[in-house]
Every structure is written in C-alpha cells, then in structure tokens.
Amino acid sequence: MTPVDILALAAHRDDVEQTCGGTLLKMAQLGYRTGILDLTQGEMGTRGTAESRASEAAEAARILRVSWRQALDIPDGRVENTWENRLKVARVIRETRPRVLILPYWKGRHPDHYTASVLGYEASFLAGLKKIDLTPNNEPHRPFKIIYATLYYDIRPTFVVDITDQFEDRFRSLMAYKSQFMDQEAGSGIFPAEKEILSRIDAMARFYGMLGGVTYAEPFLQKEVGLVDDLTVIPVKSI
Ligand SMILES: [Zn+2]
C-alpha cells in the first residue's frame, strides 16, 4: 500500500505539471503526501519516446516533491472510457487511497483530456463498491473530495490556489521535459521556444492570481457549493 493525501490524475505526462503542479508542490510543503497518475506513457508524441518521457516525468516529480507517480498503459491518443480502463484506474484509487482527487476539467480541445475526466470520476465510484474484485486491492475507497483543474479550458474557476512561492519550481518541473520543451529544431512549428512558454505560463498564472488577489495562482472547479462557518474570514476582497 502506498497511500497519498492528494492524487492528481491526467491523460499525459506533463499535463499535471501544467495545470496543478504548483498546488501539488504547495501541498507537499504543507506536509501532505501527493501522487500523480498519468494514464498514458507518451508514445505518440511528436518529440521524444515513452522512455525519455519516463525519466523526464521522474525528474519533474522530484522537483514537485511528489511521493508516488505511475503511468498506466492506456494508448496515447486513445484514452477511452471503457470498463477495462475504469478498472485500471479504480485499482490505483484503492491502492493510493487519496482524500482529494484532482481530475482534468470535463471539457476541452484534446479528447484524451476530457475523457480522462469522466474516466477518473467513474473509476472513483467503482473503487468504492464493496463487491468489485480488484485483487490485490480489495479494500473499497472513494476520494472524499474531487476537484477539477481547469487551466486548459476557458471557464471561470470556483476557487484558485495561491502558488506565488511555488511558481518558479513549477516552471522548472515543466522544463524537466527537455524532449518536449527545450529550444530545438524537431517540431519547432508546433512547439514554442522556452522563452515564449515562460511568458504564456506567467500570463496565465498572473491572470488567475489576479482573480484571487495574489501574484500567481492555479484555477480549480468544484461541483459542490462552498461551506462557511465564519463570514469574517472568507478570503478574496470584494471592493
Ligand atoms: Zn495532455
């Protein structure tokens, strides 16, 4: 058993680094155990191989102080919400037993991204069913909280996490994917140079930071309403 407090699930290696890496690092710095589940291994990428991406993913996890990281063998570019794939993810949820699960937002440009969202949700439901046999992980478990990382989609988040102190390391974790992001010839029409990437990432994080009244932030959505005990400590200034 390798329990974590917070598990982030995404379709591709480097998705988590882009959408919620700062938040994962912040949680690790607060003393929580964090984990990343990548559904695919990146064999369809224009640049690099599944092997080079595996070592880059391990380096990124080290920078983000992630305790547990694994990639499933779902084909890259063909993430499908099948029974078989739901069982694979449910097995991981029972093994890692997260209190909080971070999923991608359920709409987006890339089919792997929005399919991963529904797949993660339905696998969480399955993982809690006593009678589903997921040997060797037969203790049912469901995350208490499921939140959605919305950075890839233009939608107003329900909350943001202040990552001002984590911004630099978050960027370093993304640059660990040298085969994808470093300035190079192969695929330079699709992949912007490192300086351009930094300025885009900076602009996005500043935008969400501004919504929360801080310098840099990452956006999330929760389906549930917020619950408040004390009106005087609700954060984010109104006027
Ligand atoms: Zn992706």
Q: pLDDT tens-digit profile of 161-182?
A: 999 999 999 999 999 998 887 6
Would you put residue 118 in left (φ > 0), alpha (ψ -120 to 50) or beta? Answer: alpha
Q: Identify whether the C-beta of residue 173 lies closer than 8 Å to the C-beta of residue 63.
A: yes
Q: Give distance in angstroms: CA of 111 to centre of ligand 1.
A: 9
Q: CA-based diameter of the chain, in Å?
A: 56
Q: Which residues of the chain have pLDDT under 50?
A: none
Phi, psi of 162 (to 5 degrees): -65, 115
pLDDT of residue 176: 95
48-87 burial code (b ≥16 CB/10 A, e <16): bebebbbebbebbbebbbbbbbebbebebeebebeeebbe
Q: Give distance in angstroms: CA of 209 to centre of ligand 1.
A: 23
pLDDT of residue 143: 98
Q: Give distance in angstroms: CA of 155 to centre of ligand 1.
A: 18
Q: Identify whether the C-beta of residue 128 lies closer than 8 Å to the C-beta of residue 88.
A: no
Q: Give distance in angstroms: CA of 72 to centre of ligand 1.
A: 14
Q: pLDDT tens-digit profile of 75-123?
A: 999 999 999 999 999 999 999 999 999 999 999 999 999 999 999 999 9
Could you tell me which of 159, 124, 130, 154 has the C-alpha nearest to residue 142? Answer: 124
Q: Identify whether the C-beta of residue 81 lies closer than 8 Å to the C-beta of residue 89.
A: no
| Rounded Cα gap, residues 150 and 81, in angstroms | 20
Q: Give distance in angstroms: CA of 133 to centre of ligand 1.
A: 30
| Rounded Cα gap, residues 205 and 155, in angstroms | 14
pLDDT of residue 185: 63
The whole-angstrom distance between residue 72's C-alpha and the CA centroid of its chain comes to 15
- A 10 A CB-CB count for 206 gives 15
Q: Give distance in angstroms: CA of 139 to centre of ligand 1.
A: 31
Q: Give distance in angstroms: CA of 57 to centre of ligand 1.
A: 13
Q: What global pTM score does this model have? A: 0.94
